[in-house]
Structure 1
Amino acid sequence: GWGLSLTTDDLAKFAQLLLQHGQWNGQQILPTDYLAEATVKQADNSMNEEPDWKQGYGYQFWISRHGYRGDGASGQLAVILEDQELCIAVTSCLSNMQNLLNVFWDELIPYLKSEPLPEEPEAYRELQEYIADLKIQPQAGRVTGKPVNACFRFQENPAGIRQCDVSFGENCCSLSFLTSHGPEQLRAGFGHFEYSVLQLTDTRPHRVAAYAVWLNSSELEIYSFICDGIYRDIWTINFSDPEEPLKNRTVCGCFRPTKPRLQAIPAQ
């Protein structure tokens, strides 16, 4: 079945609602008897290999080694730890979710205290400032390539993408696509994000954030993150490869409606 599409903040509120047994501001939003059944083992999944995928399955909730969780593909988690009066919300793009849960069990739970800690206003202020400044930083390139404007044509593909022009500006680059539904442009910054609206292989346009990095003097890689989804596209342009100069791949695209792997050849 399908689940919820939430921001990280809203997912945290949903997790808090579960931790409070379905109550919010004194109002019972979810029935307590339903949650009591939904969050305990109703089906056996001991045949799975990973330890947090073999503890049992409730009604749309996985039982974990500690507590239970709502679990979405590629690392969307609402983890509920009733014994510790704690909930954790995660939005991510991961291929191994067990590793993330291991971090919680190994690095967080052992350090939780049953008694309140003494107040430290200065430390709390520093923590709030640190949290407010958190952001995803673009990868920094170790080399500087030689910008070359180029044009590539795609082989016939289900997405109807015909051509891509690569161009460079001040501290940024662009991939300009010619598609069956019109022109589109993906902008990427060097050391910073550039934002575009792109459809390409998807069924509707998405806002994307992208940055570019040189792998070597003639090979460029562009990372394009879907702002309202979990997946990202990686475009690799090798200006010295006459056979396969431009190709792409998708990370965490298991639920993407269409995801053809695109390859291009230099335009004649």
Structure 2
Amino acid sequence: MQITDWDDAYQNGAYIADADRLVAGWAERADTFRTDHAGQELRYGKDSRQFLDLFRPDRALRGLTVIVHGGYWHKFEGRAFSHLAAGPLAAGQAVAVVTYTLAPEARIADITQEVRRAIILAAQKVPDVPLYLTGHSAGGHLVSRMACRGVLPEDVAARLAHVMSISGVHDLRPLLRTEMNAILRIDAQAAADESPALQTPIDGVRLTCVVGAQERPEFLRQNDLLANIWTGLGADTRAVHIPDTNHFTVIAGLERPDGTLTRLLLDQS
């Protein structure tokens, strides 16, 4: 299928029924989660958005999960998605939910480095356990960047048990053709440097690319693209389409320990 309108290709809300209600529901459930679970704010930098919230389980520790939020790199914050920690937390994971500086104040390369620093800090605070990374949309891109060779320090990369990108954009070059790029400020070089699909993965890294089966065709393409390319570059990859879910509903699978995404992330299905 030839795409001529790239702004439309990356438009989600206009094609999802009750989109505003779904987005409002994220904040409500996130607030409820933080009321019920005390998190520790940890700062990985001096700027206002350079922090993560760390939640520790009340049962035997089985690993560390890091969650990176979406919003096309220029919207939201980690605390709007605190509720996504619920599933891994109940499964015995310590969970770090990352907030980062948004575009246009930060370029995507800057955000990549912020997420890197956040993961290093979380790994220091929760040592000696397997590390799981997951993120949605822009967050899916960012956790995939962490699986690229040379991004994470070797000692942290060695702890990676699984990276799960949810509805990620892995080749940034089409975004050069969107009006949104006035905010993102991506040029051709940055698109190449920050596209996981154009980078080499950590040898043997395990990557699952997850997408809602009812998402826009471009998100289905981007999801399968990375799993396909990295298979030939030494990564252990898998592409999964979650039935009856779209770009806004697919992430609900992290909200319960028996949720589809929780089980996929922690290798329980």
TM bucket, shorter chain: under 0.3
Higher share in strand: 1
> TM-score scaled by structure 1?
0.24
Q: TM-score scaled by structure 2? A: 0.24
Structure exhibiting the larger radius of gyration computed from Cα positions: 1
